[in-house]
Structure 1
């Protein structure tokens, strides 16, 4: 859902979350996330790594940005567009992502 349209009190399904459409909701369900509350204690990098492993595909790092936005929102942060997390992702996980891609 577009972050500007998210109303925290109305979030019930995965697709009610900011930056989540049907494809991302399916990825989350593949990881065992079936409701928004399941993201409250989740680690975005662990989710990203698990998705890459489950699908045997190295996903675009922007998927990690989305996971960061979701875990931040679940922890009480504002609904923000996924691209707001790109600089933070590069700062926090840049070398880990490069190592994962290399190896």
Structure 2
């Protein structure tokens, strides 16, 4: 069962899978980059985590992974649980579409959160 509030995830031994939108595969990905418990997401940047995952695995991941990281971090900040796809528009606004031809590929992992991409119109 998923947590209803971030406080439910702060107990010792809480599983990453308590966080809404985080299943076993994403929990494994988070553990791969050093996130062992839900509380480890507090104060983290979703885009930085996404970059770390891409670097660690040597591949670009689907942009929905970034959306899901955004949802999980917001939840751990105290925001109400929301489906990961509610973060897609925000991700596209901050980081662009990915490929110049407009495909919805993963964002360019060389970008930093301090230099968000603004849609060109």
* Alignment TM class, shorter chain as reference: 0.7 to 0.9
Residue equivalent to 1:67: 69
Question: Normalization by structure 1: what TM-score?
Answer: 0.86
Structure 1's unaligned 5+ residue stretches are none
Q: Which has the higher helix share?
A: 1
Report the Cα distance in structure 1 between the residues aligned to 2:62 and 2:29, rounded to whole angstroms.
13
Cα distance per residue 1:20-70 (max 9 Å; x no partner): 110000000001000100001110000001100000010011100000001
Hey, what's the Cα distance between the residues in 1 that align with 2:53 and 2:77?
21
Higher Rg = 2
Q: Which residue of 2 aligns with 1:92?
A: 94
Secondary structure, aligned partner of 2:60 = coil
Give the distance between the partners of 2:43 and 2:8, measured in 1 at CA. Answer: 20
TM-score scaled by structure 2? 0.74
Aligned length: 98
Output the aligned Cα RMSD. 2.0
Give unmatched runs, 5+ long, in structure 2. 100-106, 111-121
Query: 2:21 & 2:35 partners in 1: Cα distance?
Result: 15
